[in-house]
């Protein structure tokens, strides 16, 4: 008997509801046993075992610990990719949950606490559940779905490669090649079960700024005998802030320039030889990203030169702008509204956090959405943010994430197979 797309969607929703206990159990298990970037060994093993149990062709070890499962429907149709990230953060959990993490790991040469403070445990459990849903209806599914479980979204350890960039270089978007990719992120401060979307730029690029200011060491009581890099650093800090506020057209796109560390000197009466500055640059436009970098470099160098010092500027390019394909996003909006209701879907503001889902979007059209996980009883403004030691998730929202990815994949697959 032939199942219509509407009938199939109803059956998949029913299956997603049935799997809610498994979804929560997986999420809690991952939360209690978090692993840092490129070290997601236990998580990857659980994911791979589950996908194999579902009958998928599974490849492991991509970008160190990445896992890819291939689900092939019985009917002809497109290849779609769904992505979840698996890594945790070096954060000491302070939630007091019964399944709170007490894990430890080594990070940058020292032992640290580890916590799923960004919700990647939820993403992994959601995509595992989506796999369980779709494989139940293989005989009615048009096309192929590539399940991508990615390590190191938070960035690989120093001296290592990883994340989406390495997965792509190692062929994750080939054999078979998906024509679109979907992903989601749980987000604190959004009401539980709400879905946020935005066509075009939605999350910022992220570049790391290093500035080394060299002066000339001298006695603190005789500063005229040296060149004080601390004073120069202060001048550079203030001058850099005029770039987003006075030099770039912020009516076009927002620009963020933040200096998070200033380090130099050993004691009160010695003018040091050098001072280091460390910061981050965030933009939503690639041309503005380039212009910002050029202005930062010129400003730091010229301010230092004016004082007789030097400034060595290095900008490490990080993730590009996460930009949702506009046509794909608009075409999928009715899908999101069907999942969460018209009142449950909203146009997201731009978010100055960064995401390496953007790497996939550089290669193929992609849609990245946000899932609210703050309960109605809580003021969203009071919710502990992602990356906080107090970050918590309202697990009742997670089935909405499952249904969102299931329906995005289903609607796209059927729309392409019927052409």
Q: Which residues are paired to 183 by β-bridges?
A: 83, 368
DSSP string computed for 267-297: STTEE-SEEEEEEEEEES-HHHHHHHHHHHH
Residue that has been written with the tokens 């929560």 in this structure: 24
Which pLDDT does position 219 carry in this prediction? 98
| Residue 5 confidence (pLDDT) | 85
Give pLDDT, residue 336.
98
Longest CA pairwise span in the chain (Å): 91
201-251 pLDDT, tens digit per residue, is 999 999 999 999 999 999 999 999 999 999 999 999 999 999 999 999 999
- Integer Cα distance of 53 and 69 in angstroms: 11
Q: So which residues are the catalytic ones? A: 319, 395
CA distance 235 to 337: 51
Domains of the chain in start order, with CATH, are 5-203+320-414 (3.40.630.10), 207-317 (3.30.70.360)
Q: What is the DSSP letter of 342?
A: G
Residue 1: the pLDDT is 54
Q: Is 180 exposed, middle or buried (0-12, 13-18, 19+ CB in 10 A)?
A: buried
- Positions in the chain short of pLDDT 70: 1-2, 419
Query: What's the pTM?
Result: 0.95
| Three state DSSP letters for 6-47 | HHHHHHHHHHHHHCHHHHHHHHHHHHHCCCCCCCCHHHHHHH
């Amino acid at each position: 008997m032939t199942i219509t797309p509407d009938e199939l969607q109803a059956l998949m929703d029913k299956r997603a509801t049935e799997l809610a206990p498994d979804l929560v159990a997986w999420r809690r298990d991952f939360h209690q046993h978090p692993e840092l970037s490129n070290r997601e060994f236990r998580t990857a093993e659980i994911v791979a075992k589950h996908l194999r149990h579902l009958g998928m062709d599974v490849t492991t070890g991509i970008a160190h610990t990445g896992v890819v499962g291939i689900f092939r429907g019985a009917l002809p149709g497109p290849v779609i990719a769904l992505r979840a990230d698996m890594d945790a953060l070096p954060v000491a959990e302070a939630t007091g949950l019964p399944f709170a993490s007490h894990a430890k790991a080594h990070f940058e040469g020292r032992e640290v606490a580890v916590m799923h403070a960004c919700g990647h445990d939820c993403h992994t459990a959601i995509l595992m559940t989506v796999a369980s849903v779709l494989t139940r209806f293989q005989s009615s599914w048009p096309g192929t779905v590539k399940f991508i479980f990615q390590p190191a979204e938070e960035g690989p350890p120093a001296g290592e490669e990883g994340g989406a960039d390495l997965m792509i270089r190692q062929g994750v978007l080939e054999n078979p090649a998906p024509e679109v990719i979907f992903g989601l992120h749980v987000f604190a401060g959004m009401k539980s079960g709400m879905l946020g979307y935005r066509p075009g730029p939605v999350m910022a690029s992220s570049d790391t700024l290093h500035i080394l200011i060299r002066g000339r060491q001298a006695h603190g009581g005789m500063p005229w005998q040296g060149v004080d890099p601390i004073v120069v650093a202060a001048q550079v800090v203030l001058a850099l802030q005029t770039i987003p506020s006075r030099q770039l057209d912020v009516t076009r796109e927002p620009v963020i320039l933040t200096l998070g560390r200033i380090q130099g000197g050993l004691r009160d009466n010695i003018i040091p030889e050098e001072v280091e500055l460390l910061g981050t640059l965030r933009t939503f436009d690639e041309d503005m990203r380039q212009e910002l970098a050029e202005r930062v470099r010129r400003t730091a160098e010229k301010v230092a030169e004016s004082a007789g010092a030097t400034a060595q500027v290095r900008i490490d390019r990080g993730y590009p702008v996460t930009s949702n394909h506009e046509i794909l996003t608009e075409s999928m909006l009715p899908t999101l509204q069907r999942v969460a209701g018209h009142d449950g879907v909203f146009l997201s503001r731009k978010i100055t956090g960064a995401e390496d889902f953007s790497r996939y979007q550089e290669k193929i059209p992609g849609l990245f959405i946000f899932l609210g996980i703050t309960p109605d009883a809580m003021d969203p403004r009071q919710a502990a943010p992602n990356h906080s030691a107090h970050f918590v998730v309202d697990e009742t929202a997670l089935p909405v994430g499952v249904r969102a990815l299931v329906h995005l994949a289903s609607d796209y697959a059927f729309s392409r197979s019927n052409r």
